[in-house]
Amino acid sequence: MDTEMLVVGLVILALIAIALVLYQRKTRSKNLQHHFGAEYGRAVETTGSRDKAEAELLARRKRVDQLHIAPLSPADAQRFTQAWRSLQARFVDNPQDALAQADALVQDLMRTRGYPMGDFERSAADISVNHPGVVEHYRAGHAIAERQGRGEVDTEGMRQAVIHYRALFAELLEVDQPEHHDHHPDMRTQS
C-alpha cells in the first residue's frame, strides 16, 4: 500500500510539474507575442519554429539589455530634427540624395542613442526589442534604399522609403527630460 501511494504521489507531482512548465511556456509565448507584435510572427516564419523564434527573441532582449540605450539630449534632438527637416526640403529637387541622407541620418540617430551599427539584420533585431512597432518600417525603408542603389526605384518608391524612415526616426527621437523639482509652497523662501 505504501508503495502504491508513493507511486501515485510521484505521478501527481510529475503531472503538476508538467502542467506548471506548460503554463509558464504559454505565458512566456503570450508575453513575447504581445511585446514584439508582428516581429514575433516574422521570427517564427524566419526560424521555422516557435521555440527557435522565442529563443531568438529572448536572446535579442538579453543582448539589448546589455547595451546603454539612452534618450537624446535636447541639443542632439534639435540637431536631428533640423537635419530631418532639411533632407525633407531637398527631396523634391534630389530624391536619391534625400533617401541616402535619410538612411544615414537614421543610422546616426540609432548610433547616438546607443545601438551598435554594423550588420543591418542585427541592427533591425536590436531595434525590435525597444521599438517593435516600427522595425518593419526600418526594414521596408532599407529594402527600398538598397533597390534604389541598383536603380530599381522610381521617385514614388523613394518617397515611400523616406516615409518609412520617418516613422522610425520619429520613434527614436526620444529626448532626455531633466528632472523637475517641484517645490512645496511651504518650502519657498520668503522675501
pLDDT tens digits along 125-180:
999 999 998 999 999 999 999 998 888 999 999 999 999 999 999 999 877 655 54
Domain spans of the chain? Answer: 2-65, 74-172
* β-pair partners for 175: 72
Cα separation of 55 and 47, whole Å? 10
CA distance 119 to 105: 16
Q: What is the Cα–Cα distance from 83 to 90, expressed in whole angstroms?
A: 11
Q: How confident is the model at residue 118 (pLDDT cuts 50, 70, 90)?
A: confident
Local confidence band at 184 (pLDDT 50, 70, 90 cut-offs): very low
Nearest to 122 by CA among 60, 40, 54, 171: 60
The phi and psi torsions of 175 (rounded to 5 degrees) equal -105, 140
pLDDT given for residue 176 in this prediction:
63
pLDDT value of residue 76? 93
Phi, psi angles (nearest 5°) of residue 177: -95, 125
pLDDT confidence of residue 178: 54
pLDDT at 30 over 70: yes
Burial of 103 (0-12, 13-18, 19+ CB in 10 A): buried
pLDDT, tens digit (0-9, with 9 covering 90-100), for 42-89: 999 989 999 899 999 999 999 999 999 999 999 999 999 999 999 999
55 C-beta neighbours (distance < 10 Å), count: 13
In order of 3, 74, 90, 102, the CA distances from 84 in angstroms are 75, 15, 10, 7
- What is the phi-psi region of residue 48: left when phi exceeds 0, alpha when psi lies from -120 to 50, beta otherwise? left
